[in-house]
Amino acid sequence: LLRNKLVSTARKSISKNASLSQLYGNMQEAYNQMQTPLVYQPPPGV
């Protein structure tokens, strides 16, 4: 499930013709978001 999110993020970046550095940054950001404890993430719509 987590890997699918990384793959989708990578595909989005590639579809936007992002450079390798931008792709790496996007992957890091997505990974950091997944590693963030849910406690610190407010529920959607609140």
Determine the Cα–Cα distance for residues 44 and 17; give it in Å rounded to an integer: 30
Residue boundaries of the structural domains of the chain = 2-35
Of 1, 24, 4, 2, residue with least CA distance to 14: 24
pLDDT at residue 37, as a whole number: 60
Would you tell me how many other CB atoms lie within 10 Å of the CB of residue 13?
Answer: 19
pTM of the model: 0.35
Q: Which residues of the chain have pLDDT under 50?
A: none
pLDDT at residue 25, as a whole number: 78
The answer to whether the CB of 23 falls within 8 A of the CB of 10 is: yes
pLDDT at residue 31, as a whole number: 77
pLDDT at residue 13, as a whole number: 66
pLDDT at residue 14, as a whole number: 64
The Cα-based distances of 16 to 30, 35, 38, 42 in angstroms read 16, 25, 29, 29
